[in-house]
Chain A
Amino acid sequence: MFMPKLQSLLIRQKYMACFFLLLFLSTLTVNVFADQPEPAFKIDLGKINLGQPLSLSEIEKYSITVSPDGKHLPKGQGSVANGRELYNNQCKMCHGESGIEGPAARLAGTNGWISFSDPLRILRIKEYPVLLISVGGMWPYASSIFDYIRRAMPHYAPKSLSNDQVYALTAYLLYLNELVDEKTILDQRSLLKIKMPSHIESVKNKNNDHH
């Protein structure tokens, strides 16, 4: 970002260029450490360069983070029906019959548990206070459901599902939250069109201002 300034200096004062370059480099070395407790010695960061080049094929192997805009979302598709079968075999034992019974994190329901009028809510909060936040109630983007199932689920065998299986499970979770119907087949395009209920509830953080 200092280059334009440097270039104009070189054009206007070509005989002084070497002097200014040296001056600039010396301030850079100081500035880099300005916010940090200083190490015992000062070095030119451009000279460390111990990092090894990371190839495109290596990057592709590990790039599993799916963004809300669809970046890194792979091709594939899966139906609610297939998702139900996978869910019953691999997920139900931790997440419960309809995604609300636990003991693992809630997949369906409103923020306040199954519902705000759930008569057992107080007891449930006392039993598992941190697990009442549900995917359907809190997550603002459906892309995150695909992302998390693929990287971390099922808990006992993460990264063992195919892309089509992850699409199917994502479809079934959306169905449990009544966001898609029973006949839905989810793919790259339709997943990005899902509007999660909590998307409109999200607010900017006034204290931190990072969104």
Chain B
Amino acid sequence: MKDKFLKPAASGGLLDRRTFLLSGLALSSAYPLTAIAQTVGTNFPQWMKTPGRDASAYGGPSSHEAHIQRHLEKNTPETAIFSIWPTPLANQRGIITPSGLHFTVSHNGIPNIDPEKHQLMIHGLVDKPLKFDVETLLRYPMVSNIHFLECAGNTAPNAVSFTALDQDCQALFGQISGSEWVGVPLKYLLQEAGLKPSAKWVIVEGADGGSHARSIPLEKLLDDAIIALYQNGERLRPEQGYPMRLFLPGWEGNANVKWVHRLEVTDKPAFTKDESGLYSDILSDGKIQRFSFHMDVKSVITNPSGKQVLPEKKGFYEISGLAWSGHGKIKQVEVSADGGLTWAKAHLDQPVLSKSLTRFHIPWQWQGEATTILSRATDEQGNRQPTREQWREKYASYSFNHYNAIQAWHIDQEGVVRNVYA
């Protein structure tokens, strides 16, 4: 590539995001011809000289990628009472998380539900209490949308730890994933049951051992909520709520009740276990804020990110990451490669969808010096990520939910990437 295309966009080696879009990559096809051996086979690897295996009934990743897995988060007791399995975010590209790698959090383990015995019940402040079995729900009109799902406690270590822990992108940011979710708009079912005028909330309950329950405002359920039956083209995985889950675009993971079996329509919230304690926020003055459902605008650079080592001192890299907002579409992502002194706009990959992961990237020529890289996202409502200091001012020192501050990764002269507070 010629120098005339390398346009700096900010200091620290950030290049204009359009560099490659404008120039294209001229790939050389001038491979030298090697001397002809006795058979051409001598020059080829083993897998080009034998027939391959047959396909399997349900495919899996390459054995060389078998180490790309979720890991049980060690900061919780090793029991299914409360287990967190974050997704390996830095090993993924695009905006869809493979279903088997989608992060999962459960508070009472994963039930083994017989779909033929599972029913969705609707009762309470309705004209006609109704029940729907799985086969019946599969006959309803469905919608399909690509959305992120994020646990309210994603990135909690950076919210509460006094010093930045040396953790990777998976441990710090892995409680977010993106999928295509397909299901029946809940408003069809609620309208079929007929809502009484006093109906304002719905207590949504799962069919797991702990009967996980959350109180959800009716207006959200009549807006874009679905009873999800499919994820990424196949029926839900048990870890995601098979045979059905509530899906609330842009709202905290815990409210997206898995294994959903009962909707009780009420006039006020029930103050269930999770909305009473763990999923409340404590403000800096000690007051407790409940029912904070939206996941705010947030972003993270996934490459390079914590615990990675840049393979070559100095040289070209592409900074790439994810941005999302529970309030709508991502409008812009800015990246800094000089510790936040200067910023440049990153390129946003299409599609940029509402309440979905958005992939951003920007070319970067690393000068080989120690530096800190950061990303900050703005959504279409004008919400912009706060600094960690600004976020901390709002909450008590031990409040950890809904952390969405700007993330910083430090890169030392050896190319070692480390989580830091900017």
Q: Which residues of A contact B (CB under 8 A)?
A: 1, 32, 35-37, 39, 41, 43, 45, 48-56, 58-59, 62-69, 94, 102-105, 111-113, 122, 125-135, 138-141, 143-144, 147-148, 151-152, 155, 158-159, 198, 201-203, 205, 207-208, 210-211
B window 172-194: CB within 8 A of A? 185, 187-189, 191-193
B75 touches A48 (CB 8 A): no
Tell me, in angstroms, the Cα distance from A51 to B270 when the chains sit together.
Answer: 26
With contacts A54-B129, A58-B121, A129-B75 taken as known, whether A144 is within 8 angstroms of B210 at the C-beta atoms is no
A205 touches B290 (CB 8 A): yes
A148 touches B272 (CB 8 A): yes
Tell me, in angstroms, the Cα distance from A97 to B154 when the chains sit together.
Answer: 31
3 smallest CB-CB distances across A and B, nearest first, come from A51-B130, A152-B210, A54-B129
Closest to A104 in B: B81
Can you give 19 contacting A-B residue pairs, CB < 8 Å? A39-B143, A45-B191, A52-B132, A54-B129, A54-B130, A67-B271, A113-B398, A127-B75, A130-B156, A131-B77, A133-B277, A140-B276, A144-B273, A148-B272, A152-B108, A158-B108, A158-B211, A202-B290, A210-B217
With contacts A36-B143, A138-B277, A139-B277 taken as known, whether A50 is within 8 angstroms of B136 at the C-beta atoms is yes
User: Which residues of chain A come closer than 8 Å to B273, judged between CB atoms?
Assistant: 144, 147-148, 152
Choose from A45, A67, A155, A210 the contact partner of B266 (Cβ within 8 Å). A67
Choose from B123, B205, B272, B396 the contact partner of A111 (Cβ within 8 Å). B396
B268 touches A67 (CB 8 A): yes
With contacts A151-B210, A208-B292 taken as known, whether A51 is within 8 angstroms of B122 at the C-beta atoms is yes
Tell me, in angstroms, the Cα distance from A70 to B140 when the chains sit together.
Answer: 36
Tell me, in angstroms, the Cα distance from A202 to B76 when the chains sit together.
Answer: 27
B128 touches A125 (CB 8 A): no
The answer to whether the Cβ of B160 comes within 8 Å of any Cβ in the partner chain is yes
Closest to B128 in A: A53
With contacts A36-B185, A45-B192, A158-B209 taken as known, whether A208 is within 8 angstroms of B288 at the C-beta atoms is no
Shortest C-beta distance, A58 to chain B (Å), equals: 7
* Number of B interface residues in the complex (CB < 8 A): 73
Of the stretches B233-241, B278-286, B313-321, B359-367, the one at the interface is B278-286
A143 touches B278 (CB 8 A): no
Tell me, in angstroms, the Cα distance from A49 to B286 when the chains sit together.
Answer: 49
Tell me, in angstroms, the Cα distance from A153 to B122 when the chains sit together.
Answer: 25
A51 touches B160 (CB 8 A): no
The answer to whether the Cβ of B308 comes within 8 Å of any Cβ in the partner chain is no
A205 touches B292 (CB 8 A): yes
Tell me, in angstroms, the Cα distance from A48 to B396 when the chains sit together.
Answer: 50
B142 touches A39 (CB 8 A): yes
The answer to whether the Cβ of B293 comes within 8 Å of any Cβ in the partner chain is yes
A208 touches B294 (CB 8 A): yes
With contacts A52-B132, A205-B291 taken as known, whether A147 is within 8 angstroms of B122 at the C-beta atoms is no
Shortest C-beta distance, B329 to chain A (Å), equals: 14
The answer to whether the Cβ of B343 comes within 8 Å of any Cβ in the partner chain is no
With contacts A130-B278, A152-B209 taken as known, whether A1 is within 8 angstroms of B269 at the C-beta atoms is no
B143 touches A37 (CB 8 A): yes
Choose from A50, A112, A143, A207 the contact partner of B294 (Cβ within 8 Å). A207
A158 touches B191 (CB 8 A): no
A122 touches B162 (CB 8 A): yes
User: Which residues of chain A come closer than 8 Å to B192, judged between CB atoms?
Assistant: 45, 48-49, 51
Tell me, in angstroms, the Cα distance from A130 to B152 when the chains sit together.
Answer: 11
A132 touches B398 (CB 8 A): yes
User: Which residues of chain A come closer than 8 Å to B270, judged between CB atoms?
Assistant: 65-68, 144, 147
B291 touches A210 (CB 8 A): yes
With contacts A51-B192, A52-B132 taken as known, whether A128 is within 8 angstroms of B108 at the C-beta atoms is no
Closest to B401 in A: A130
User: Which residues of chain B come closer than 8 Å to A41, judged between CB atoms?
Assistant: 141
B193 touches A39 (CB 8 A): no
With contacts A94-B81, A112-B398, A138-B277 taken as known, whether A51 is within 8 angstroms of B161 at the C-beta atoms is no
User: Which residues of chain B come closer than 8 Å to A49, judged between CB atoms?
Assistant: 192
In the complex, per-residue mask of B105-135: 1 if CB is within 8 Å of any chain A CB, else 0? 0001000000000000111000011111100
Shortest C-beta distance, A122 to chain B (Å), equals: 7
User: Which residues of chain B come closer than 8 Å to A130, judged between CB atoms?
Assistant: 75-76, 82, 153, 156, 278, 400
The answer to whether the Cβ of B223 comes within 8 Å of any Cβ in the partner chain is yes
With contacts A37-B145, A130-B153, A138-B277 taken as known, whether A144 is within 8 angstroms of B271 at the C-beta atoms is yes
Tell me, in angstroms, the Cα distance from A191 to B8 when the chains sit together.
Answer: 67
With contacts A102-B77, A127-B75, A139-B271 taken as known, whether A155 is within 8 angstroms of B108 at the C-beta atoms is yes
With contacts A68-B271, A201-B288 taken as known, whether A208 is within 8 angstroms of B123 at the C-beta atoms is no
B142 touches A35 (CB 8 A): no
Tell me, in angstroms, the Cα distance from A144 to B213 when the chains sit together.
Answer: 11
